[in-house]
Structure 1
Amino acid sequence: MSICDNFKRTGSAITRLSVLLPVSLLLGASAPSLSLGHPTVITAVIAAILFVLLFFAGLFTWRGHNRLTGADSDLLLQQSRQAQRLAVVETVIGQDALVMAVWDEPGGLPQYLRNTLTMSETIPSRAGPFMMFDTWLDGPSAEKLTAHLAQLWKRGATFSETVTTSKGERLNAQGLYTSHNAILVLRAVPVAERALPSSDEAAKKLLADLPHPAWIQDVSGAIVWRNAASAAAPPFPSGTDGWANIGPEQRAAAQEAWRAGKPWHQRIVLEGGSSKRGYDISLLPMGGSVAALAFDISDFETVRGEMSALLSAQQNAFKHLRTGIAVFGADQRLRYANPAWRELWDINDAFIADNPEDEAILDHLRALRLLPDERDFNGWKKRYLTRSREGAVDETWYLPQGRVLRVASLPTRDGGYTIINENLSELEELRRRYATHERVQRQTFEALTDAVIVFGSDGRLQLFNPAFASMWRVDEADTLDLEKHPHIDELIAWFAVLHDDPPVWSGLKNGVIAMGEDRSVFTTSLSRRDGVVIDVSSRPLPGGATLVTFVDQTAAVRVKTALEERNKALVDADQLKNDFIQHVSYELRSPLNSIIGFTEMLADPVLMAKARDTTHDASALSRQSEYIGYISSQSHTLLAIIDDILTLASIDAGAIALDITRVEPLEVMASAAGALRQRCAEAGISLSVEVNGDIGAFNADAQRVRQVLYNLLSNAIGFSTRGQSVSLTASRSQAQDIIFEVGDDGPGIAPEDQAHVFDRFSTKANGTDHRGAGLGLSIVKSFVELHGGHITLQSQIGQGTRVRCTFPERALEQHRLDQRPQ
């Protein structure tokens, strides 16, 4: 055997010792307080001695390595000694009843397994069956041991746990960890820890001092001892039977747990006196007896009920909130979401029925394009979830489709967190509109040509527009700085330079600084020294503010003055015109009447006969008769024009009063038509008069109505030609008004001329021989309106004209007379 082989074998032995010796030391350190004769203590002592021996052995080995030139017999001797020492350590460890498993690497089967625990035959001695914990341990113990070993391999987390075999044997499991190995040690639970003897006075004293009911009973239920709290509480126990308060099924389960050496817990409701109270009962096996503890949970249940009711009320309140609320548990799964949150994210009940994780919800919302567009979504999601679980999120999200959300998170006591989503879309829209409105208002305010200022409740200037600074001659070089919000007193001192009127400025100041009901509108007008006329007005605003406007009325005052002067001139001229027309008309009527009188005398048949007897020139006499006819005709025409002018002048002057009587429509129609029938016959024009039904009489001035109809018929005949017809009809409207309508088949009136038909001195031949002064229709319109009626016209070129006059049932003047106080 070579020196290198000897060194390999020696290294292997040292490695095994380096594992077993720390184990023995750890076992000695972790064992409970024992006597010096206990095997565990002996093992620890031997392990310490062996560690010293191993140290010197290592020292000798190192020296031997430096003396490679030594003989192989020395190395063989050292290897033999190490093997002997290893056998001694394993022998010492074997003296302790335990199961030891050692792993050189995480997971897999243990590289070293030793079972010296004789009390249990259920623990496998081979590595493969040993790792199948669920075959020789009960379910909860197998799960706990598997979880602890996983943490021991992964993080080196040591543990000490009590596990139970499938046969009810209780073992203490310890997990140890060195720099290279993971170690599991199983020992039997000491008898002193398995059951507390009923004769143990210390245990009884401990139970006796408890404020909760406690007693000790044997398996049959016979009470062997009870504390004072149990005696004071009537339900515990009932009589001498410890099982009396437990139902048959619960009793069977409790007895089975006792036989397995396991504790048994149950919540029951018992009647104590006149009330029912809830208790948590625990039965603890104590060898041949059972220790029972009862905890009154009635108050706890009451508080829990109140908390449950509070939680229910809170969730009911959440249902009516417009703010979205989602609650996640410590496992990051959704626990609760109010309707507003589901509606906000458009999440259906089927998706949240399985309580999805927060990460899955974010992925779902991203698929629906409801989250912010992030280039690195996974990184953003990780950062957001981390901060949400810490309760550190409070931010605003600008989402697609223009939505704006406020997202905030709050931590909960159970390790979870709550997400609050508030829809700010409408608020942001309102803010945007408000900003736009404020900007437009500001620009409008600054663009106003009128001077406007606003005072705050403290009487200081808050807002002003450029027109104000310009009107009162305030510029950057002046001592009055408007940007520094001067007081009303400072402004009044500035105003007084151009207009020193204390009562005006005192009224303005009172309107600005007044409070409560004293705030009112103040208006005045002032004329400055420079000739500028300004209207001043102050109006109260909400919040104690005051709006003051200064309107430059200089131009308006000048225009008003000019208009008043011109109007006065026009009124005077109109009066002069009326006076002139009346004077001239009356002055013309006298000589005209004389001319007409003399003409009629010359045309007298007697005079004409004498002229024939004395005159032998028949042609001259004929011409004289013709000229006299012309003079008479034109004189009557001129007289009619003068009468019309006088009538219009009288109407303008208000000198015409209506003579209201009951007027029969057919009578005034026949009178007006009769005066024109000879003219119609000479012109070859047919004239018809018709009354539609029995329309009855109405209140009007018969003479003026006849004049209206006469003028309309005369005008219609004048625009008609031979063979055409003129009609005059009368009817009542639904409002009981009298309607007279005059129609002709004449050439009609062009649309652009219809608006001027009733104007004075407006005349159009329209292709006929009709001539006139243009006053007849003006008189018609004036008389109809004087009755309170109105007149309308319909005409088309080549289709004639229809003029409709509407007279009310009671004339306007008669109505006014009736309304006068008696």
Structure 2
Amino acid sequence: MIAARDILNGRDACWLMDCAADAMLVIGSDGRVLLANPAAERLFGYSLDEFCGLSVEDLMPRRFRAAHGDKRADYAGRPEYRRMGSGLELYGLRKDGGEFATDISISPVENGHVLATIYDVSSRKRLEEEQKRMIHELENVNEELKNFAYVVSHDLKAPLRAIGSLADWIAADQHDRLDAEGQEHLRLLIQRVRRLDALIDGVLRYSRIGRAHEAANAIDLNELAREVIDSLAPPPEVTVSVAADLPTIRAEKTGMQQVLQNLLSNAIRYLDKPEGRIGINCAEQADCWQFSVADNGPGIEPRHFERIFQLFQTLHPRDRVESTGVGLSIVKKIVEQNGGRVWLESSPGQGSTFYFTVPKTYP
């Protein structure tokens, strides 16, 4: 092998090449390997002396060799620093025939020689392939869940409607023939049919979040809040107050509508006082709007703060307070998918305040 000093200018350059952690080769204009460092010996499996009988094409799989001659000639005409491998499939070939994924940096040195630095990126490639596989599997699972939700809805809704209609008919036409116990059983049947119907609708709404996007528009929150309150029609004993200076934000209207609707309906549903007070307010932060929905209801123990945002979780028996356990899960999913966060402050007997943020810049 040619002396290193005859190829590289100076003792320091030779020393740095020998100490480098990455494999480095000096290649002549004819494609022959002139110099290799110890890291190249470890990577390719050749001794330093064996490298002198090799061409650069000997260090790559056969399928890449034919095209490489033209690339080498093109580089000789325009020698410059280049990083190869981004967006390409490059592989090195070891002495034992094994292949490894690689990125390569090439730089011109004196006398038409080229300094090539070879990086073994096999671990990174394996990780990328694993990520691609996991993403593909996740997409398939999501698609199956979406189809499953629609199939379940279709297959359950029809018989459920039939059961509900039959139960309503019995309650209307056979009322006098049923004793008090029978009437109570029928009432529970109708109640649970309606609950299951609402649960199916809730699961479908939850599954659709993030799939179907509507255009983001300017939304006057004062107007939207009034629309939601009108649609819920709170009972006379419940007063809902809305701050006069709620901002106009840019977001998907349906999502914001669902967030307010679920928070307000929960406050109304769980009210345990003769008179209910619910307040909607907003505080401006540096990069977001912080909204709050406060009530004077029963309050929530801190140990339940995380649990209530999970799907199908409720704090009260369903036969006492009708609930599907989906509403707050929908709130959390919508808020977080729009770049915000949701949390609450509450004490038992002191009411609750639910907070959520909306970024000033629509994600």
**Shorter-chain TM-score above 0.5:** yes
Which residue number corresponds to residue 179 of structure 2?
621
Structure 2 unaligned blocks of 5 or more: 1-11
Aligned residue pair count: 339
Is the aligned partner of 1:578 residue 2:141? no
CA distance in 1, matches of 2:31, 2:206: 63
Deviation per CA, 1:450-504: give whole Å up to 9, x if none. 423356999997874433112222126x544xxxxx5xx8442653687771432
Is the aligned partner of 1:792 residue 2:345? no
The structure 1 residue matched to 2:294, chosen from 743, 755, 760, is 743
Contact 1:760/1:775, CA 8 A, preserved across alignment: yes
Question: In the TM superposition, what are the counterparts of 1:372-771 in structure 2 within 5 Å?
Answer: 442=16, 445-446=19-20, 448=21, 450-453=22-25, 464-475=36-47, 479-480=50-51, 490-492=54-56, 494-495=58-59, 501-504=65-68, 507-508=71-72, 511=75, 514=76, 518-521=79-82, 523-524=84-85, 525-526=90-91, 528=93, 530-540=97-107, 546-604=114-172, 607=173, 611-612=175-176, 615=177, 620-654=178-212, 664-671=223-230, 674-675=233-234, 677=235, 687-695=238-246, 705-716=256-267, 727-731=278-282, 733=284, 740-744=291-295, 746-750=299-303, 754=306, 758-761=309-312, 763=313, 765=315
RMSD: 4.8
- Which has the higher relative contact order, 1 or 2, with Cα contacts under 8 A spaced 6 or more apart? 2
CA distance in 2, matches of 1:494, 1:806: 60
Code of the residue aligned with 1:641 in structure 2: it is L
Question: In the TM superposition, what are the counterparts of 1:346-385 in structure 2 within 5 Å?
Answer: none
Contact 2:246/2:282, CA 8 A, preserved across alignment: yes
CA distance in 2, matches of 1:808, 1:522: 39
Say which SS state the counterpart of residue 45 (structure 2) adopts: coil
Code of the residue aligned with 1:504 in structure 2: it is H
Contact 1:589/1:639, CA 8 A, preserved across alignment: yes
CA distance in 1, matches of 2:156, 2:202: 13
Contact 1:750/1:796, CA 8 A, preserved across alignment: no
Code of the residue aligned with 1:467 in structure 2: it is A
Deviation per CA, 1:232-265: give whole Å up to 9, x if none. xxxxxxxxxxxxxxxxxxxxxxxxxxxxxxxxxx
Deviation per CA, 1:303-355: give whole Å up to 9, x if none. xxxxxxxxxxxxxxxxxxxxxxxxxxxxxxxxxxxxxxxxxxxxxxxxxxxxx
Deviation per CA, 1:49-85: give whole Å up to 9, x if none. xxxxxxxxxxxxxxxxxxxxxxxxxxxxxxxxxxxxx
Deviation per CA, 1:127-180: give whole Å up to 9, x if none. xxxxxxxxxxxxxxxxxxxxxxxxxxxxxxxxxxxxxxxxxxxxxxxxxxxxxx
CA distance in 1, matches of 2:168, 2:226: 31
Shift of 1:547: 3.9
Contact 1:713/1:742, CA 8 A, preserved across alignment: yes
Measured at CA, do residues 765 and 456 of structure 1 come closer, stay the same or move farther in structure 2, by a change above 3 Å? farther
Say which SS state the counterpart of residue 230 (structure 2) adopts: helix
CA distance in 2, matches of 1:556, 1:757: 40
Question: In the TM superposition, what are the counterparts of 1:56-75 in structure 2 within 5 Å?
Answer: none
Measured at CA, do residues 688 and 585 of structure 1 come closer, stay the same or move farther in structure 2, by a change above 3 Å? same
Say which SS state the counterpart of residue 576 (structure 1) adopts: helix
Which residue number corresponds to residue 3 of structure 2?
none
Shift of 1:583: 0.9
Contact 2:220/2:246, CA 8 A, preserved across alignment: no
Which residue number corresponds to residue 5 of structure 2?
none
Say which SS state the counterpart of residue 729 (structure 1) adopts: strand
CA distance in 1, matches of 2:18, 2:274: 70
Contact 2:91/2:100, CA 8 A, preserved across alignment: yes
Which residue number corresponds to residue 158 of structure 1?
none
CA distance in 1, matches of 2:18, 2:181: 85
Say which SS state the counterpart of residue 209 (structure 2) adopts: helix
CA distance in 2, matches of 1:556, 1:764: 44
Structure 1 unaligned blocks of 5 or more: 1-437, 481-485, 682-686, 813-822
Deviation per CA, 1:18-72: give whole Å up to 9, x if none. xxxxxxxxxxxxxxxxxxxxxxxxxxxxxxxxxxxxxxxxxxxxxxxxxxxxxxx
Deviation per CA, 1:484-543: give whole Å up to 9, x if none. xx5xx84426536877714325535764xx47x532415251364834133242332687
Deviation per CA, 1:202-237: give whole Å up to 9, x if none. xxxxxxxxxxxxxxxxxxxxxxxxxxxxxxxxxxxx
Say which SS state the counterpart of residue 453 (structure 1) adopts: strand
Shift of 1:646: 1.2
CA distance in 2, matches of 1:661, 1:510: 58
Contact 2:280/2:293, CA 8 A, preserved across alignment: yes
> So what's the TM-score if we normalise by structure 2?
0.69
CA distance in 2, matches of 1:653, 1:497: 44
Say which SS state the counterpart of residue 653 (structure 1) adopts: coil
Measured at CA, do residues 749 and 770 of structure 1 come closer, stay the same or move farther in structure 2, by a change above 3 Å? farther
CA distance in 2, matches of 1:466, 1:552: 15
Contact 2:292/2:355, CA 8 A, preserved across alignment: yes
Is the aligned partner of 1:775 residue 2:326? yes
Code of the residue aligned with 2:56 in structure 1: it is I
Contact 1:729/1:742, CA 8 A, preserved across alignment: yes
Measured at CA, do residues 735 and 603 of structure 1 come closer, stay the same or move farther in structure 2, by a change above 3 Å? farther
Shift of 1:690: 2.0
Contact 1:538/1:546, CA 8 A, preserved across alignment: no
What percentage of aligned pairs have identical amino acids? 22
> So what's the TM-score if we normalise by structure 1?
0.34
Which residue number corresponds to residue 336 of structure 1?
none
CA distance in 1, matches of 2:101, 2:362: 48
Measured at CA, do residues 665 and 588 of structure 1 come closer, stay the same or move farther in structure 2, by a change above 3 Å? same
Measured at CA, do residues 490 and 778 of structure 1 come closer, stay the same or move farther in structure 2, by a change above 3 Å? same
CA distance in 2, matches of 1:627, 1:766: 21
Shift of 1:548: 1.7
CA distance in 1, matches of 2:228, 2:163: 33
CA distance in 1, matches of 2:309, 2:314: 12
Which residue number corresponds to residue 354 of structure 2?
803
Contact 1:717/1:726, CA 8 A, preserved across alignment: no
Contact 1:662/1:700, CA 8 A, preserved across alignment: no
Contact 2:25/2:117, CA 8 A, preserved across alignment: yes
Deviation per CA, 1:351-392: give whole Å up to 9, x if none. xxxxxxxxxxxxxxxxxxxxxxxxxxxxxxxxxxxxxxxxxx
Contact 2:27/2:115, CA 8 A, preserved across alignment: yes
Shift of 1:630: 0.8
Contact 1:781/1:790, CA 8 A, preserved across alignment: no
CA distance in 2, matches of 1:532, 1:673: 66
Computing the radius of gyration from Cα coordinates, the structure with the larger value is 1
Contact 1:455/1:461, CA 8 A, preserved across alignment: yes
Measured at CA, do residues 638 and 498 of structure 1 come closer, stay the same or move farther in structure 2, by a change above 3 Å? same
